[in-house]
Every structure is written in C-alpha cells, then in structure tokens.
Amino acid sequence: MSAALSSTSPISCQLNGARVTFPPDPSARLSSALRGLGLTGTKVGCDAGDCGACTVLLDGAPICACLCSTAQAEGRDVRTIEGLTATNPAAVQLQAAFLRHGAAQCGFCTPGMIVAATALLERNSRPTEAEVSDAIGGVLCRCTGYRKIVAAILDVPATAFDGPQPPSGTAIGARIARLDGRRKVTGADSYGDDGAPADALVLKVVRSPHHRAAFAFGDIGAFLTAHPGLIAVLMAPDVTGVNRFGVIAPFADQPVFAERETRFKGEAVAAIVGEAEAMAALDLSAFPVAWTELRPALSPDEARAMGASRLHESRPDNVLVRGRVARGDVEAGLAAAAVRAEGLFETGFVEHAPIEPEAGWARRVGDRIEIHACTQAPYMDRDDVAAILGIAPEAVRIVPTAVGGGFGTKLDLSVQPFLALAAWRLGRPVRMTYSRRESIMTTTKRHPARIRMRAGAASDGRLLALDVEAEFNTGAYASWGPTVANRVPVHASGPYLVPNYRARSVAVHTHVVPAGAFRGFGVPQAAVAQEQIYDELAAALGMDALDFRILNALGPDDPTVTGQILGPGTGIRACFEALRPAWTRARAEAAAFNRGRAANGHLRRGVGIAGMWYGCGNTSMSNPSTMRIGITHDGRIVLHQGAVDIGQGSNTIIPQIAADALGVPLGALDLAPPDTDLTPDAGKTSASRQTVVSGKATELACRALRAAILRMANAGSDATIRPAPGELRVDEAGHRRLIRLADLPLDERGYAISAEETFDPPTTPLDEDGQGHPYAVYGFGAHLAEIEVDLALGTVKVLHVTAAHDVGRAINPTLLEGQIEGGIAQGLGLALMEEFHPGRGENLHDYLIPTVGDVPPITTILIEDPNPVGPSGAKGIGEQALIPTAPAILNAIHHATGTRIRRVPATPDRVLAAIREAHLAADPSPPGEGESAPADRGGVLPGWGCPHPGSTLRVDSPSPIGRDRDRTDQGQRP
C-alpha cells in the first residue's frame, strides 16, 4: 500500500486508458472495485488467487485482481478484458483464435485466460507450447481440458473472428464457432453475479459449523437493531409454502432452513438481508445462534450402526433407496468360469468446482417472482420455488443467466430459495453470490462409492458372469441419490455381453453434504471397478486386454443386462478397433522405454485401456423436451431454445439441427434463450440428453414448420425456403412463390407461422429384476491412457490419451472434441488427485483440480454409428467423455508397476504403498522384450528387488518451478 494514502484519500489509476478514481478504501479488492465500475468481464471465482478468473494486467503484468488492493493500483496502469478488446491487437486475435478452436466453453475462465495470454504475446509473439502453459498456469479451467486453449494461443495471429457460416442444409457436421462465443471471449456474457440491479439488497446465509448440531436462536430483534442497514432475518417459519425441496419429487427432503437440527456442515439455518454496505461490514459470527454439537454419522457404516437414530424418520437404517438388476444365474456362471477375479474398489467425494460460484438475484414483480441465476434446470427450479413460496408455478419466472460450468451441481437449488423468499417478502431486488468456501461446503458432490465385484470368464475369453455390490454415501439429503442407485446397476456391466449378471446398489444417508449429480451419475465409479476387474480376467487368461474387450463388446443383436437389444448404433466395437493402432504403438513404446532402466531411473511407463457406455436421459422415466420455432411478420425466424447451455454447446448445436431441418441458413435464425416465460420446457441439462432429446424435438418442430410453409406455398418437399424481410420465398423447379408474412394473422404463439413439438424418448419401466428398456439411446466410447510412474515417489504423469467415441452423428466436431477433452481432464482428476473430505479443504488451494500442466495431449477419434432415435442419428457426449479415463489410467498404472490401485484418487502415497506391497519399489528391473505388462506375469517382474522394511527410498531431487509445477506436485500429494 502506498505510504501516502490514508483511509480517506481518493485512489486513482489509469484504467483501460482513462483516469479513474476509486472510493477511499485502500483495502478494497481491485476485482471488486473494477466490477463495481461495471467491468464485469473480470470474473471472481475464489477471492483467494487460486483460480485466476480475475486476471488483469497491472503495468502490463498479469495479476489476480482479487489479491490486489485498490491502493496497490494507485497511480498505475490497469487493463481489463474490456480495455484489451477495444485496443489490443493481440487480444483481439486471441479472441478470434479462441472462437475458431472452440477454446471457450462456459466462458467463465475465458477473460482471465485471454488477459494472461495477451501479456505473453505482448512480450513474445511466437511462444512455445511450454511458454504458453507457463503463462496460463495460474488460470483454472474446469470445462475444456486446456488443449484447445493452448492450441488457440499458439495459433495467433488468427484470421476470421467467427469463421464462415455454412451454406443452407450443411450446418450439421460443420465446425461452426460457438454462436454465443463472441460475448464469452470479450467478457460481455452475464453470469449469476453480473446483472443484479444497483440497488439490490444483499443476502448472506448463516450455516452450521458442525456436521450435526442442535441450535437455538438468540435475540434477533436486538441483532437487527445493533446493525443499522440490516433489513431482515429469515428462518424456517418465514417459509410461506413448504420448507422442503428436492430434484426428485417423491424424495424431496431438504429444508430451505433447518428446523431444530442440522444434518451437515454448512446447512442453512437463517438468512440475513441488508443494504450492500451494511452487509459488506457484517461479521456473521455476531449472529445470535447457539450450537450444540451432536454425534454425526460420517460414513455409511456409522450411519447403519446408528440404528433408530435416523436422519429421516421414514428411512430405516438410513437407507435412501436400493437398486437391482439381475439376469441369468450369476453363481452358476461364476462356477462354470475358467478364470475368476474379484475385488473391492473405493472412490471418494469429488467436488464439481465450476469456476463460477453459485450466484443470482431476484425481484418481485406484482404477484410474481422473477429469479435470474445460474442453473441447469429452469423449470425444475420454477416448480420448487413455487412450492417453497406457496404460489402457482406460473407465478414464478426463471431467467437463467450464463452458467460458468455446472457438471451436475447446478441441477439442484442453491441461491434460488433464499433469494425468492427475501425478494417476495421485502419487495426489493435481492442478490447473493456464494463464496468459494460456501460453494464447496454446501453444494452436491460425486457420490463416494464402495463397490465389490466378482467376475468370471470362459477359457476362450468370453465373459460368463459379473456380480456387483455397490454402496454409495448419499449424504444428508436425497438430491440425485435415487438416480445414481438406479443407474449404476444398469451400467455396471460396461458395454459388454454378460449373460449372468447381478448388481445391487444402496444409497445411505450420512451427516455430510448431499451427494448428487456429477457427470456420469455413478457410472464413472462403477467403471473404475469393472474395467479393472476385466483387465484382471484378461491377464488371468493370458489375453491381450484390447482383444478381450473386442471379443466381449456388445453387438447390435446382443441383449444388455436389462435384456434390451440395442440394434443399429451400437458402436462400442468400432471404438475399440479404432484404438488398436495406438494400442500397438503405445505398448511397444512403453516396452522400449522400460528396457532402458539405467537411463530412466525410477520411471516406468504403462498403457491402459477402458470402455464405456451410457444411456442418454432419464432411466425408465418420461423425459420430454419441447421446442418452438416461429416466423414473425417482418420475417425473423425465432427459435425458442430452452436447453440451458452450461458450456456444452446447446446454444450452437440446437440451431445447427434447426437450420438443416427447416432448410434455411444457420444465420437466418434468431435465438430466444432459456426463460420460463419465453421458452417451453426443454428439460434439464443433464444425463447427456440435450442433443438427443431437445435436438430431436428441434428437428421435429422445424420439420413441422417447413411442412407448413411448403403446404402454404403448394410446393413439394424438395423446394427451397429463403427468408427475406417480410416474406418467405419458396423456390421449386425454377418457380418462385412468395408468402407475404404480414398478410397472415398472428397465431396463438404470436407468430405468422410457427410450430412446437415435444419429444419423449421411448423407454419402458424396469421390472423387479431390472429388466426392460431404460434408455432409447446409448453412447459408447473407449480411452487409451499412456502414463509414466515414478516408482520412488509414487507420482503418476499422464503422457497421452487417445479417445474414441461413437457419437452417432457429429453435429459439431469442434464442440464434441471440446467435450471429450474436458471430460478427460475431469476423469484424470478423479483418477489421480481429486477427493473432498467434508469439513476440510473448502477452497481451490487445498482441493486441487487439473491445471494446464496436468492435462496431456489428447487424440480424439469420432465414430459415427447413427442411432435411429437421435436427431440425424446423434448421441450425447457430456457424461460419456469422462467415464473411461480413470479406469484407463488405473489399468496403465497396473501395466507400469504390476500393482492394482483399488482406491482412487491414486495419490502418490497410495501408489507407493501399493508398489511396496507388491515388492516392486527398489532397484526395479524393467520388462524384457515383448513383455507387455508385469501384471501379465502375476504382478512381479523377474529381478525386481524388495526394499527392506522401513528402508528409505532415494528421491531424485524434484525441482518445482513456478506455481504450475507446485500445483501438479500437490495434486499428487496425499
């Protein structure tokens, strides 16, 4: 801080080329001051310097604005994304390159990335990839997997900004730049914290500091009196409707405010609302509440042992729900097997860590409430908020803001009920933004799993039987626990023909944050177990792991474990076959590397493979989506696109489908974005359903509109439709017919011509053995991971991933690749570094997600085996992309070391312990020529020594350089 400044001195600096003065608060964060001036392109993800979303240039150097006080900016030059967009050629070229490469998904990290990259390019116009990684090493991205960001920066100078638009009828399959990308790369997109009215009150929540506690409030009136500027305190009695919400209605069990007792650390008991200045000064610890800590059950074992002490009165043994699928005779299949394998596998809580914390604002408009917030499920939010307020759903308007990543966690309510209650009662706009700690502490997590599997195969390699028992820690409230418990038994076989199968699952309540939806709904955890067990079967048979999978891969005429024949579009075998060249090369290269042990010291390389399948949409439940398209009197074609784009690309893919189905150029479409007052219900953005379900509804609606237009013009199906101001031109065989739109009466939707269609994928209920057709469309994929293990440190470095995915039809290959790369990055985190411990590490410094330094080069192979249900045969990709990464990495670790990691993440302590256990750590000898895997020979290499008990392994001095290296090492630290 400048010594000359006092707390009353005005603070001024040069901001984007103009002199500005900040209020006289020398300790104010620069990030807050900038946003207070309307420069909301500077995003705030953590307020702790961990995420880099708030990166700005201070005298040309990139800094985290959240760690810089306004006093430190006194007299200096500050440039933000807005200033760079206006004046800096390198920044503008970066924005073009980001668009062309698909380097922005949700876009929340994008301004920070572009600012950091601009600083690099200003001093080095031709950086190397290593220099690029170093420059953006302090900026986290949770969506992209960084590869396209690096490629974009290396591609500067770029050419066209958005790229050319495809001609009419060719939008599907084109690598179109994200249609909403320009506002993401310029920082103009408006997220949950960006758009609140200036006079909005601020809301903060009082939360339980204990896993389980009774509580009693003190004198609330005195508290309000003692704090001028505070307006109200809300508690359970202030809930005007039902003090319960939940994403699956029959299981709805979570109170807005706890009553009498809290069930997890961070649970809300009250909300304080006040003027912004008073709330900024408020010390929440002054709130009058007395806590009595109670004995919690933190694990399923503890919860089941609690007996009558239930978290929810109606759920004996604290069991939320059980799932089951059975087919054939699993015991007979195991008895007949030539080889058998079994094991217990465990995974922990995983935090979604979207870089945008939950945020939004609400206002009362007459007898209606309007909520602007980040969400994946606007209509579900609408219905839940209506029930909480005790008003009709039609009296609630949900306007989703841009969403800075979700991955499942923004399917559940977060800020919405608090905002709605406060704005409804006070009649003033109210805003709220979760702190990073609040976000990590209270939002849903990936379910920790304990999965036991037994599997058997015949001597010719064919799978005979698989027995699965899966237990999930579902936390204090139901959230998506029932979905996970029901989806896992359907998927735990993997994409293979398993004639004898039994899978049982149970979700158990504990006193921890609710576990919910996270990219895969439990399937990634099951794949960690199943793909490793199958590798063990292959090894026991002496079979190549890829050959084993191809032999057993589901074909179009094979029954799944639920008895469903999938028919055309069963592309798993093609995915595995596509990996064979990489498999052959990588195994040979690993063997060659490992032969050079003298040169490589403790390093060993391994190659692993894993497959996946995933049913798109809800499991055996109605799953509809409705899309509307209309043409105005002046000739605008408006697509009411209600599928929320959380970065996955529905704002681009849905219009691509629409343009081709209607037969007009993509550029002719205007988008009406998600808004429960303006767009019909497209369902939630989850379960890889939007491309399939909403895409199909779009295709149907646009075809219906096209048919109506052609009927009106008395034209045949091959006619061409050309929109023009005030008219449609329909050309056929050299003849043109004009439809003058102003001559048509407006229909009930307010358009000259319009169409609306609903699509609900055909499924059937599952019987008591789980037999039936749970999904209409499955996606398939397989990953190959090449890794390097340091046998002395236990660290694992992923060198390369090759991913083959059957996407049915690639609507937009660039966006598909982005989804796959982002999924791989999250799968890598699941495998190697991510584990949330309730009550600890509630920040992005202790809870580590992959940085640019952790994600290896990725080769993506898109397989197109069309499914007859999806639009143009397309399948989903969002969940699919993550599922096989972790088991492929774990199989590669086994290939490199001969040890099996049964609890993820495979942190160095766990890897090292496994290596020691297998007597492989000291003076290891590499595999010989043609010896592909230690595992193939029982997990012990000839000549590998065994360290003396308690001996100290030599560590070749690691030399962390910079923050990026530090993070990577920490990510691999227990």
Is the Cβ–Cβ distance between 224 and 234 less than 8 Å?
Answer: no
Neighbouring CB atoms inside 10 A of 309's CB total 11
Tell me whether residue 355 or residue 566 sits nearer to ligand FES (CB atom): 355
Q: Are strands 11-15 and 77-79 parallel, antiparallel or unpaired?
A: parallel
What does the alpha-carbon distance between residue 704 and residue 706 come to, in Å, rounded to a whole number?
Answer: 5
At residue 568, φ and ψ (nearest 5 deg) are: -60, 145
What does the alpha-carbon distance between residue 795 and residue 790 come to, in Å, rounded to a whole number?
Answer: 5
Q: Exposure pattern of 440-463 as b/e (b: 16+ CB <10 Å)? A: bbbbbbbbbbbbebbbbbeeebbb
**Smallest gap from residue 875 Cβ to ligand FES (A):** 23
What does the alpha-carbon distance between residue 613 and residue 743 come to, in Å, rounded to a whole number?
Answer: 52
Written as six digits, the tokens of 839 are: 């009550």
**Smallest gap from residue 47 Cβ to ligand FES (A):** 16
Q: Which residue from 823, 807, 811 is spatially nearest to 855, judged by alpha carbons?
A: 823
**Smallest gap from residue 590 Cβ to ligand FES (A):** 32
Tell me whether residue 44 or residue 334 sits nearer to ligand FES (CB atom): 44
DSSP-assigned states of every residue in 241-261? S-S-B-SSGGG--B-SS--SE
Tell me whether residue 779 or residue 850 sits nearer to ligand FES (CB atom): 850
**Smallest gap from residue 41 Cβ to ligand FES (A):** 14
Contact residues toward ligand FES (CB under 6 A) are: 104-110, 141-144, 355, 405, 647
Hey, is 631 helix, strand or coil? strand
Tell me whether residue 374 or residue 579 sits nearer to ligand FES (CB atom): 374
**Smallest gap from residue 111 Cβ to ligand FES (A):** 10
Count H helices, E strands: the chain?
Answer: 25, 33
**Smallest gap from residue 610 Cβ to ligand FES (A):** 26
Tell me whether residue 405 or residue 673 sits nearer to ligand FES (CB atom): 405
Tell me whether residue 796 or residue 852 sits nearer to ligand FES (CB atom): 852
Tell me whether residue 850 or residue 934 sits nearer to ligand FES (CB atom): 850
DSSP structural state of residue 693: I
Tell me whether residue 162 or residue 577 sits nearer to ligand FES (CB atom): 162
Is the Cβ–Cβ distance between 494 and 613 less than 8 Å?
Answer: yes
**Smallest gap from residue 40 Cβ to ligand FES (A):** 16
**Smallest gap from residue 27 Cβ to ligand FES (A):** 29
DSSP-assigned states of every residue in 268-305? EEEEEEE-HHHHHH--GGGS-EEEEE-----SHHHHHH
**Smallest gap from residue 851 Cβ to ligand FES (A):** 12
Is the Cβ–Cβ distance between 649 and 655 less than 8 Å?
Answer: no
**Smallest gap from residue 374 Cβ to ligand FES (A):** 12
What does the alpha-carbon distance between residue 618 and residue 774 come to, in Å, rounded to a whole number?
Answer: 8
Tell me whether residue 142 or residue 364 sits nearer to ligand FES (CB atom): 142
Q: Which residue from 929, 919, 970, 974 is spatially nearest to 949, judged by alpha carbons?
A: 919
Cis geometry, peptide bond prior to residue 868 (ω within 30 degrees of 0): no
**Smallest gap from residue 883 Cβ to ligand FES (A):** 20
Sign, Cα dihedral of 86, 90, 96, 102: negative
Tell me whether residue 649 or residue 939 sits nearer to ligand FES (CB atom): 649
What does the alpha-carbon distance between residue 276 and residue 31 come to, in Å, rounded to a whole number?
Answer: 16
Tell me whether residue 107 or residue 683 sits nearer to ligand FES (CB atom): 107
**Smallest gap from residue 114 Cβ to ligand FES (A):** 11
- Cβ neighbours for 899, distance < 8 A, ≥ 6 positions apart: 893, 911, 914, 915, 917, 918, 920, 939
Tell me whether residue 108 or residue 751 sits nearer to ligand FES (CB atom): 108
Hey, is 438 helix, strand or coil? helix
Q: Which residue from 109, 183, 184, 113 is spatially nearest to 150, judged by alpha carbons?
A: 113
**Smallest gap from residue 585 Cβ to ligand FES (A):** 31
Tell me whether residue 83 or residue 405 sits nearer to ligand FES (CB atom): 405
**Smallest gap from residue 146 Cβ to ligand FES (A):** 9
**Smallest gap from residue 105 Cβ to ligand FES (A):** 4
- Cβ neighbours for 923, distance < 8 A, ≥ 6 positions apart: 944, 945
Tell me whether residue 40 or residue 69 sits nearer to ligand FES (CB atom): 40
Tell me whether residue 144 or residue 972 sits nearer to ligand FES (CB atom): 144
Q: How far, in Å, are 269, 381, 400, 647, 869 from residue 684 at the CA level?
A: 28, 10, 12, 14, 19
What does the alpha-carbon distance between residue 49 and residue 154 come to, in Å, rounded to a whole number?
Answer: 25
